[in-house]
Amino acid sequence: MADYKIAPSILSADFSRLGEEVEMVLDAGADIIHFDVMDNHYVPNLTVGPVVCKALRNFGIEAPIDVHLMVSPVDDLVVSFAEAGATYISFHPEASENIDATIQLIKKHDCKPGLAINPDTSLDCLDDRLESIDLVVIMSVYPGFGGQSFIDSSLQKLEDVRKCIIASGKPILLEIDGGIKANNIRDVARHGADVFVSGSGIFGTENYRKTIEHMRAELSKV
């Protein structure tokens, strides 16, 4: 079985006890903690900043933190999140003044860079860049709000990017972000994803362990 990774998005967690919530999903079997960072400019919502990332590190969270920047401009927050303890930092190519320079900035600060692809964005932005990144994020909802339904057209994008990753020979993670639940995770995995971001699909359930075990059981059937 592929090395699938489950990444709960804290956007759906209870922020009044965020440290405990993150500990609980990690204890329940999650692999990565996902941050949806929105600036009320690039997308019409405002969420968390680097202080929350730093707070989780200070709380004792050692798991990889995957920061998805839905912001413009990008570069200042790259530095801030890197200093706050991010592991992966992904951004939208449309939001960067210079995509390659932003990728190099992320690397300069010892983080792993990723590119996030919106439902309506062409995959052309990945041309000649797969060698420089560690993560591709396929958005299966429109960025800006949690709790949306999965967009089926993202499955073809997953297949196309997976082929490119295989051709590159590089161990790039292929992440799907949006609308992931236990009842669709197996089908999405079959189309090439190996990292699954799930917000309400995990935090909106009563028993995180049972939910993640259900997801793992579905992934074992791929």
Question: Residues 31, 66, 134, 177: which is the catalytic one?
Answer: 177
What one-character DSSP code corresponds to residue 94? G
Question: Residues 31, 36, 66, 134: which is the catalytic one?
Answer: 36
Residue burial 97-108, b: 16+ Cβ < 10 Å; e: rest:
eebeebbebbbe
pLDDT digits (tens, 9 = 90+) for 138-183: 999 988 766 667 899 999 999 999 999 999 999 999 999 999 999 9
Reported for 178-182, long-range contacts at CB under 8 A and 24+ positions apart, including other chains, are 178/139, 178/140, 178/141, 178/148, 178/150, 178/151, 178/154, 179/140, 179/141, 179/148, 179/149, 179/150, 179/151, 180/140, 180/150, 182/211, 182/214, 182/215, 182/218
Element (H, E) at 67: strand 65-70
The confidence score (pLDDT) of residue 2 equals 76
Whether 36 is catalytic: yes
Residue 12's pLDDT band, with cuts at 50, 70 and 90, is: very high
Whether 177 is catalytic: yes
Sorted by where each starts, the structural domains of the chain and their CATH numbers stand as 5-219 (3.20.20.70)
